[in-house]
Structure 1
Amino acid sequence: MLIAMALSGNLRGALWMLASVAGATGMTVFVRQLTPELHTSMIAFLRCVVGLAFLAPLLLKADPAALLRVRRPGLHLARGALVALALNLGFYAIWKLPVATATTLFFLAPVFSTLLAPLMVGEHVGARRWAAVMVGFLGALVALRPGMAPIDLGAMAAVGSSLCFAVALLLGKTASAADGPDSVFATTALLTVALTLPFALLEWRLPGQAWVWGGLLLLAAASSLRGYADIRAFAAGEASFVAPVSYLRLPSVALAGWLMFGEAVDGWTWGGGAIVAGAALFIALRERTPRAARVAPPPLGG
């Protein structure tokens, strides 16, 4: 009976993670489709505005004053700024790079988190995880193949986005310990609207076509699905069972890029993506605690 219950939980977790993969794939596709009509900074801002509108009923249902009455406001502000910057850099990378290459470089976020954890949160990182960090960066080099292909601003933006998300994740852990994950979730949603606005003002142009607004709604919905499904996946199943499913994002995005944009994926990208994903998965499994219940970190909003 207990085995059946555990299996059921793991299967539910895997299904939620598949929903997260679908949300992440949809988000990537919608960003790319909107770039001929809007600058990526406008897309990031409007995505945050629409996303906040989706979340408003949940935030208002709780006690908004309590959620925003935080003890570590500096941490929340820094996290919001990093998420806003990460969104802008990530959307720019999706615009400029083949979507599969951008996705491969986004997998560096947990690798950066491991690299920075000893400095930022005092976490011990063993030799095996340090080796996984090195392997992860090697995979990124394989995908970028420096010396064989130019490393452009899009690639640097993707790496920068992953770094910003990694630091934001670590700040989120500290802020959650002080103020609770709900407060981190609420302040990030509000701050990303305010802090993506300056970037958007540089390229300000509201959509004039109905389908563009529809695309923004779908983008926000896909992003919200990804964040919510991530939380439900790790709440339902064991991390060791659920985490590998998340790396189906690369073949999913690659297939979407081929079908929607005619982007063929070469062997370097597949190889580099497999190396980075393997390193990130190893890190995730090494970080798994023996506790029966594992609390997922608050979503980053990306």
Structure 2
Amino acid sequence: MSSLLGQLPDDVASARRLRVTAILLMIGALLLFSLLDSTAKYLTMGNESPLQVAWLRYLFHVVFVSVLLNPWTSPGVWKTRRPGLQLLRSVLLAGTTIFNFAALASLQLDQAVTIAFATPLLVAIFAGPMIGEWVGRRDLIVIALGFCGVLAVTRPGFGTFEVAFLLAFANAVCGAFYNIATRFVSAYDSAKTSIVVSGFFGALVLAPIMPFIWQWPESPWIWVLHIATGLFGATGHFLLILAHGRAPAPVLAPFIYLELVFMSAWGWLLFDDVPDRWTLIGAAVVIVAGLFLLLRGKARATDPLE
């Protein structure tokens, strides 16, 4: 008994170290995703098509992922048990990328990411009819308040509404269905297989469009930025895999909202954009709603009567 008690502190310390490592990996992934969006905004502001920027992002994503995850380093990683579901998931992921990049051409980074934070609220709504995870009455009230936060950012009817807001919301809708599809496919394929296949299918789906919209990047610097989008995306997703392998999702989920900090910082440093009062108010409302739903989900997981 004494030996077991003596080992307990080491086990607890090891678990804490794993969680700290997972949180740092999560923060690193979010930093890379904010760099991806900032780079995409710069490219689309230079009049490149969001479709072309998205395709090159996935093309270079496949190149970088193939170096890390290939048949020699990870045997079987390119084999999926549900190719149709993976294709659907990849189309949804490509949709999030295209809508997001198109919105970023006009919106500030902080505005785009705040609207994207509606994704968990939409997941809570769609998860009921699609996978049987219904939300309660209090959850629906919180979801409604969360969407009020999105309305605070877009302010429809007050002379500041842009089509780009609809594109940003379409990104959130695609993101919600993508998350639900990921839950389905995770029962059949590993996270490594999903990251490899989604990038490959994403590039494959967009390839037929390229001959109609392609324009050669105007300088070597623009090529460097395109390569960087693939590097940021691939590495960010790889860090996410490592993070979720070291800590459960509820531990990591609250840190998603740090992306607003990163996006606001890059917006100020790179584009001289500063969040306005309504964006900050809307972001606060959406974040509080998302965290409430997260805590409610944890409560239901530990208390079946909740």
TM-score, length-scaled by structure 1:
0.87
CA distance in 1, matches of 2:190, 2:247: 22
1:126-161 CA deviation, whole Å, 9 max, x = no partner?
334323322221110111112223322211111101
**TM-aligned CA distance change 1:249 to 1:80, over 3 Å:** same
2:51 aligned with 1:13, yes or no?
no
Amino acid of the structure 2 residue aligned with 1:47: R
Does residue 1:251 correspond to 2:261, yes or no? Answer: yes
Which protein shows a greater Rg?
A: 2
C-alpha distance in 2, partners of 1:144/1:16?
32
CA-atom RMSD in angstroms = 2.1
The aligned residue for residue 246 of structure 2 is 236
Per-residue deviation, 1:282: 2.5
Aligned length in residues:
288
* Per-residue deviation, 1:233: 2.5
Cα displacement (A) at 1:33? 1.6
Q: Which residue is equivalent to 2:107?
A: 97
Deviations 1:96-135 (A, max 9, x none): 1111100101111111111100111122323343233222
Secondary structure, in 3 states, of the residue corresponding to 2:166? helix
Q: CA deviation at 1:43?
A: 0.5
Gaps of 5+ in 2: 1-8
Aligned to 2:33: 24
Offset, 1:167: 0.5
The gaps in structure 1 that reach 5 residues or longer are 291-302
Alignment of 1:171-182 (within 5 A): 171-182=181-192
Residue number in structure 2 paired with 1:296: none
Aligned to 2:132: 122
Kept after mapping to 1: 8 A contact 2:114/2:260: yes
Q: Identity rate of aligned residues, in percent? A: 26
What letter is aligned with 1:80?
A: S
User: Contact 1:239 / 1:285 at 8 angstroms: preserved in 2?
Assistant: no
Output the CA distance in 2 between the equivalents of 1:179 and 1:228. Answer: 15
Give the Cα–Cα distance (whole angstroms) in 1 for the partners of residues 105 and 143 of structure 2.
Answer: 27
* 2:143 alignment counterpart: 133
Measured in 2, the distance between the counterparts of 1:233 and 1:26 equals 19
Q: Which of these residues, 146, 161, 168, is aligned with residue 156 of structure 2?
A: 146
Mapped to 1, the partners of 2:170 and 2:115 lie a distance apart of 9
Which stretch has the larger CA shift, 273-282 or 258-267? 273-282
2:260 corresponds to 1:266: no
Contact 2:34/2:259 (<8 A) preserved:
yes
CA displacement at 1:73 relative to structure 2: 3.3
Q: Who is 1:295 aligned against?
A: none
